[in-house]
């Protein structure tokens, strides 16, 4: 610098890591119960790589019965909240999620429940 015509090159490299969540257990099987009786389980949601506070949303499946009626027999609760929080050491705190099922009509279901962040990831 200082009127010196030398050129300096700066080379930068890096890795982009997308935030992700994993589940413990990785899948859920709810036990069969009599009609209109609730069955439930608890899962831990383990967020990784979130650099800012985010909130988890859940897309619950809609089930179509044989007569064409549609029901939403699943519900979820987050007893400690559904915000992904970054701790002072840069890690993300686990979230607890209660999943329950109740139906007054006979139904069987195998499918997915989607957990997404605010950016629909």
Token couple for 15: 């890795």
Q: What is the pLDDT of residues 39-80, one digit of tens each?
A: 999 999 999 888 888 899 999 999 988 888 999 999 999 999
Rounded to two decimals, what is the model's pTM?
0.78
The torsion region of residue 5 among left (phi > 0), alpha (psi -120 to 50) and beta comes to alpha
Any domain includes 4: no
Q: Which of 8-17, 83-92, 112-121 is least confident?
A: 8-17
Give the number of domains in the chain. 1
Contact predicate 40/30, CB 8 Å: yes
Closest CA to 58 of 104, 98, 94: 98
Q: Answer yes or no: is 13 within a domain.
A: no
Three-class secondary structure of residue 51 per DSSP: coil
CA of residue 16 relative to chain centroid, distance: 21
The CATH number given to whatever domain includes residue 39 is: 2.60.40
In a domain? residue 15: no
What mean pLDDT comes out for the span 94-121? 90
The C-alpha angle 109, 111, 114, rounded to 5 degrees, equals 130
Cα-based distances in Å from 34 to 30, 72, 103: 12, 17, 9
Question: Has residue 14 been placed in a domain?
Answer: no
Residue 94 belongs to some domain of the structure? yes
Q: What is the mean pLDDT of the chain?
A: 88
6 part of a folded domain: no
Report the pLDDT value the prediction gives residue 117, as an integer from 0 to 100.
86
How sure is the predictor about 9, in pLDDT bands with cuts at 50, 70 and 90?
Answer: confident
pLDDT of amino acid 12: 84
Domain that holds residue 65: 20-116
Q: What is the pLDDT of residue 5?
A: 65
């Amino acid at each position: 610098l200082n009127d010196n015509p030398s050129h300096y090159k700066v080379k930068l490299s890096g890795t982009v890591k997308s935030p992700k969540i994993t589940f413990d257990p990785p899948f859920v099987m709810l036990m069969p119960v009599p009609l209109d009786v609730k069955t439930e389980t608890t899962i831990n949601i383990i967020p990784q790589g979130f650099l800012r506070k985010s909130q988890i949303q859940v897309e619950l499946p809609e089930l179509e019965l044989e007569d064409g009626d549609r029901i939403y027999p699943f519900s979820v609760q987050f007893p400690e909240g559904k915000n992904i929080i970054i701790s002072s050491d840069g890690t993300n705190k686990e979230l607890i999620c209660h999943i329950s099922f109740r139906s007054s009509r006979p139904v069987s279901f195998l499918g997915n429940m989607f957990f997404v962040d605010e950016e629909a990831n």
